[in-house]
Structure 1
Amino acid sequence: MSALPLIAVVGPTASGKTALAVELALATNGEVVSADSMQIYRGMEIASAKPTKAEMRGVLHHMMGFLDPETPYSVAAYVRDAAACIREIASRGKTVIVAGGTGLYIDSLLTGTAFVETPSDPALRRSLEAQYDAEGGEALRKRLADVDAETAARLHANDKKRIVRALEVYLQTGTPPSRLSAESHNAPPPYRPVFLGLAFHDRAALYRRIDRRVDEMLRAGLLDEARAFFAGHAATAAQAIGYKELKPYLDGEVPLETAVDALKRATRRYAKRQLTWFRRNEAIHWIYPDACTPDAVLAQALAIIKAVNVCPDK
């Protein structure tokens, strides 16, 4: 079976991925599969920058808002569910457009670097989480590096969830997660993606867009959404950019301006990490929105897609 062609739109937060994905879907008879680890949850519409109905412009979007925030959800589960969406979309003769900024989702789905679906061990996981909290992230990341340098090199010391999961997989199977992943992907890759990346020559231009987005989120009701989310899903909210930075204000500990500044700084740091992640993918065709008009961004993207022929025959 030949690899399925598809389009992947990647890049940092606030770079214009959603708008470009929608334009491409309209131009190529496509549908969008989200690759965002926060947009999968219900009730996080504003904080996760989930596109509104107006922004979707009639384009079907998948892998959004289908999961309760308290439901555990692994990278392997995302790969499984997104793959099912992709097959269904392609079966209807539509172009598949994967769009998002969660690098691990993108890589796991499209380049075959997912952790395999190893059953979780809640007791072992709690033990590892306690060790992480007691010893620090760098200590556990180094412990992971001793048994799986490849996986450790991909993870930041602050990535508690994935460091713990990698160690859990190793301790359960006796095999490094990177080796398990490689062994599970010996078959020919199922997809033939063309990667379109959005970046900025002037990093300050991206940061200004981030600041504007945060201001727009606040006007749209982010404070009320955060307040409601903390009331029902405190554990998830405590990890989510857009909520955790606002908690000191909601608790009456700091002025709103201080919390908003913290949120903007955290989002800028997240964007920097996203860019660092995606820059490692040499297959990405980079487009720079700060160097051209939105129409030119779309024209460049369509030219790249045409050159590599990833759209189904109409």
Structure 2
Amino acid sequence: MEPLITIVGATGTGKSKIARDRSGDSLQWRDYQRCVGLDEEPWRIGTFRKESLRLIKEIHSRGKLPILVGGTHYYTQAVLFNDTLVGEGVVEEDQGVEKEQKGIPSDSEMWSILDAPADVMQQKLREVDPAMADRWHPNDARKIRRSLEIYLQTGRPASEIYAEQKRQKQAVAESKHELEAVNGHGTEGAGQLRFPTVLFWVHSEKEKLNSRLDKRVDAMIEQGLLAEARKMWDYIQEKQSQGITVDKTRGVWISIGFKELEPYLNALREGTASEKELEALKQSCIESVKTSTRQYSGKQVRWIRNKLWNALAEADMTHRLYVLDSSDVDDWTRRVTEPSERVVHAFLSNEPFPDPKSLSELARVTLSEKEQQSPSPADDVAKCITCEVCRKTMTSQKQWDIHINGHAHKRALKAAAKRAQREEFLRSRSAPKEDADGSTKDETT
């Protein structure tokens, strides 16, 4: 058996802390990290997956237990599961790396459309794959580009590939139990876990976590976050002086911290603001860091609740996801360390697992909510729907249903009806009226 422990959760919940906690002699902590420099290309998901699998294999070869700790769950999921949808960016990004290594022109060089504005790319995508074009929000350039890229690379619409791979995954699921009887730990098919895996979701009550995140940002500021952002800002200025434009839409440049503090750094350079104005701007930028951190935390939780849970459900492995309540860090041993030790012991000893809902009240509520949700077929397929009244675009039927039943939409409908009545009244007032003798006159004159 080549077991794997995976730890997921929102930022600030304590993922790294639990990874470092010792569970007997079985867990030997060794931190594998690699920082990408400002001059380096950011790691693509395919590169991350390949390097992670290499390290997992190396750890297994030493008879140790690897622990995968993930905050960017999009990347973590690519390691956990056998390759599934090409649209998740694994297969084609690997091909892209191979192209670069062989000196073959990149996709952007071969197809300039991939560097076009989002609306231009979406129009092209609508020509070759209208089903995918309807999925994405007009402003979601990354997803539009990805769908168009799949078509250019494979010659097939991404929607067609999705449908085919979904059928394959369903076929694998149907034969899963028979295959388990043969190999003892699941299947090797697409969408199945690569390794015998237990997953810990380190979770906290929202209000307590938000308070903790705000304090964490304050601590980061004290520990030099502004100085680090200044180094990045200086790097951009140096490149600009050399006539080089830094793409701030990818890699480290979109990480939380720099972009929120950039207005303050720009104001420092301009030197026109007073000391009081600079301090106010600085505090405003720090508050923006806190807001972005809280929003990112919520996004991470939504990914686990939806994407990761659905992937585990398709693999019939939701019973391997354990929620650990880290709301009270002062009670860490009882709430996190001890429950995780019991699960790991059962996992490695091939003993019966504890009921995931038995670990805590938060675990019971969180997992019960997911189990009670009956996924709707409409929720599985993204499709953009635009409300012409509110001038807003929703990316799923679920979002659309919420929108049309919301107070904002109903207020907009009433306002639109009043405008229509007023315009009709003004038109009727200004329209020429016929006199008894058959002549007409303008009522407004």
TM range (shorter): 0.7 to 0.9
- Could you tell me which residue of structure 1 aligns to residue 263 of structure 2? 248
Cα pair distance change 1:268/1:135, threshold 3 Å: farther
Q: Please name the residue that 1:173 is paired with.
A: 154
2:337 corresponding residue in structure 1: 298
> Taking structure 1 as reference, are residues 285 and 158 closer, same or farther at Cα in structure 2, changes over 3 Å only?
farther
Distance 1:203 1:310, change over 3 A: farther
Q: For 1:304, what is the secondary structure of its paired residue?
A: helix
Label 1:300 to 1:156 Cα distance change in 2 as closer, same or farther (>3 A).
Answer: farther
Measure the CA separation in 2 of the matches of 1:248 and 1:62: 34
% identical equivalent positions: 27
1:130 is matched with: 116
Aligned to 2:95: 118
1:222 and 2:225 matched: yes
Q: Which amino acid aligns with 2:95?
A: T
Specify the alignment match of 1:19 in structure 2: 17
1:196 aligns with one of 200, 203, 226: 200
The alignment covers a number of residue pairs equal to 275
1:199-240 Cα distance to aligned partner (Å, 9 max, x none): 12x311111111111111111101111111233365345412
Give the one of 283, 288, 292 matched to 1:266.
292
Q: Is the 8 A contact 2:45 2:78 kept in 1?
A: yes
- Between 1:223-232 and 1:174-183, the stretch displaced more is 174-183
SS of corresponding position for 1:61: coil
**Aligned partners of 1:141 and 1:290: how far apart in 2?**
45
The one-letter amino acid paired with 2:16 is T
SS in 2 for 1:246: helix
Q: Deviations over 1:84-110 (max 9, x none)?
A: 011011111111000021111111110
DSSP-derived class of the 2:255 partner: coil
Q: CA deviation at 1:77?
A: 1.2
Equivalent position amino acid for 2:31 in 1: H
Query: Greater CA deviation, 118-127 or 180-189?
Result: 180-189
Alpha-carbon distance between aligned partners in 1 of 2:149 and 2:73, rounded to the nearest angstrom = 21
Report the AA paired with residue 113 of structure 2. S
**Contact 2:125–2:147, Cα closer than 8 Å, also in 1:** no
Q: 1:211 aligns with which of 214, 217, 221?
A: 214
Give the superposition deviation at 1:309: 2.3
Higher-Rg member (1/2) = 2
The offset of 1:180, in angstroms, is 8.9
Distance 1:305 1:218, change over 3 A: same
Residue 65 (structure 1) aligned with residue 51 (structure 2): no
Alpha-carbon distance, 1:118 to partner: 3.0
- Tell me if the contact between 1:63 and 1:82 (Cα under 8 Å) persists in the aligned partners: no
- Cα gap change, 1:262/1:295 in structure 2, threshold over 3 Å: closer, same or farther? same
In the other structure, the counterpart of 1:85 is 55
Match for 1:269: what amino acid? Q
Q: Structure 1 residues 89, 158: CA separation in 2 closer, same or farther (over 3 Å shift)?
A: farther
SS of residue paired to 2:196: strand
CA shift for structure 1 position 174: 2.6
Distance 2:17 2:137 in 1: 29
Aligned counterparts of 1:25 and 1:148: Cα–Cα separation in 2? 46
Whole-angstrom CA distance in 2 between matches of 1:156 and 1:272: 20
Name the CA distance, whole Å, in 2 between partners of 1:130 and 1:174: 20
Of the candidates 71, 78, 81, which is equivalent to residue 108 of structure 1?
Answer: 78
Q: 8 Å contact 2:81–2:194 — kept in the other structure?
A: no
| 1:128-167 map, 5 Å | 128-132=114-118, 134=119, 146-148=130-132, 160-161=141-142, 163-167=144-148
1: CA distance between counterparts of 2:339 and 2:232?
A: 40
Q: Name the amino acid aligned to 2:210.
A: Y
How far did residue 68 of structure 1 move?
5.4
Higher relative contact order (CA 8 A, sep 6+): 1
Deviation at 1:288, TM superposition (A): 1.2
Q: What is the one-letter code of the residue matched to 1:239?
A: I
1:196/1:287 contact within 8 Å kept = yes
2 CA distance for matches of 1:118 and 1:179?
22
- CA displacement, residues 152-201 of structure 1 (integer Å, 9 cap, x when unaligned): 97x8887644552343123211342647977897367531221100112x
Equivalents in 2 of 1:11, 1:22: separation in Å?
15
State how far apart, in whole Å, the 2-side matches of 1:198 and 1:307 are. Answer: 19
Residue of structure 1 in register with 2:254 after alignment: 239
SS at 1:62's partner residue? Answer: coil
Q: Secondary structure at the match of 1:95?
A: coil
Closer, same or farther in 2 for the Cα pair 1:218/1:94, shift >3 Å?
A: same
Aligned to 2:198, the other structure's residue is in SS state strand
